[in-house]
């Protein structure tokens, strides 16, 4: 199970543009059917498009902008999104939420004696733990944090076990 984020930005932009075009066409058709002067005059638009040349600046800029937006939307739709569910070992349909996974590992690091603050960056292959402590001697603290995080990883049992790296930074009093 590898759930990823949905492609809501490209889908919303495409839907918004299509909705605007449909509303514009519907309003123009309804106005013509009721005998009112339409906001969008079909003949004026058709004449302007017919008289435009591809070598003119405006059509070239408009077509370049449309092509660029299209490429960005395709690129955004093709790239994989962030994982929202991380697969666990054993059952292929089991998974842990990425935020819960990160929080559990951060809590394990923060519960070690002497740790004031713990920050984590969780990747598929590596977990980086940055620890701040008020201790003047940090001997053994990185090993204790690594053991605590690895113990929590044993408990969670991810499908791919990441390597844990720990960096300890001693802070001075009053900072």
d(CA 56, CA 59): 6
130: which DSSP letter? Answer: E
DSSP run (H or E) holding 44: helix 42-51
Q: How confident is the model at residue 173 (pLDDT cuts 50, 70, 90)?
A: low
Average pLDDT estimate for 131-149: 90
Tens of pLDDT, residue by residue over 77-87, are 888 777 777 77
Neighbours of 109 (CB within 10 A): 24
CA 5, CA 113: separation in Å to the nearest integer?
37
Per residue in 110-121, pLDDT (tens digit) is 999 989 999 998
CB 117 within 8 A of CB 110: yes
Q: Is the pLDDT of residue 74 over 80?
A: yes
> In order of start, what are the domains of the chain with their CATH numbers?
8-78 (no CATH), 85-170 (3.30.70.1350)
Residue 112, burial from CB neighbour count under 10 angstroms (0-12, 13-18, 19+): buried
Residue 95 pLDDT > 50: yes
| 144 pLDDT tier (thresholds 50, 70, 90) | very high
Closest CA to 95 of 165, 9, 2: 2
Q: Between the CA atoms of 5, 10, 16 and 18, what dihedral angle is there, to the nearest 10 degrees?
A: -130
Read off the pLDDT of residues 36-54 as tens digits, 9 standing for 90 and up: 888 877 788 889 888 888 8
Transcribe 80-95 into DSSP letters.
Answer: ---BSEEEBSS-TT-E
Q: Tell whether the model's pLDDT for residue 137 goes beyond 90.
A: no
**Average pLDDT taken over every residue of the chain:** 86
Q: What are phi and psi of 7, to 5 degrees?
A: -90, 65
Identify the three-state secondary structure at position 112: coil
């Amino acid at each position: 199970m590898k759930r990823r984020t949905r492609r809501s930005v490209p889908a919303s932009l495409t839907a918004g543009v299509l909705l605007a075009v449909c509303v514009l066409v519907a309003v123009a058709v309804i106005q013509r059917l009721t005998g009112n002067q339409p906001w969008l005059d079909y003949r004026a638009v058709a004449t302007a498009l017919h008289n435009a040349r591809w070598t003119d600046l405006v059509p070239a800029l408009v077509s370049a902008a449309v092509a660029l937006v299209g490429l960005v939307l395709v690129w955004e739709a093709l790239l994989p999104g962030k994982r929202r569910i991380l697969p666990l070992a054993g059952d292929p349909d089991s998974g842990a939420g990425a935020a819960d996974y990160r929080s559990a590992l951060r809590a394990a690091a923060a519960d070690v004696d002497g740790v004031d603050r713990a920050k984590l960056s969780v990747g598929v292959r590596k977990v980086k733990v940055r620890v701040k402590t008020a201790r003047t001697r940090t001997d053994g603290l990185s090993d204790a944090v690594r053991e605590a995080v690895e113990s929590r990883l044993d408990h969670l049992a991810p499908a791919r076990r990441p390597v844990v790296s720990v960096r300890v930074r001693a802070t001075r009093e009053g900072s």
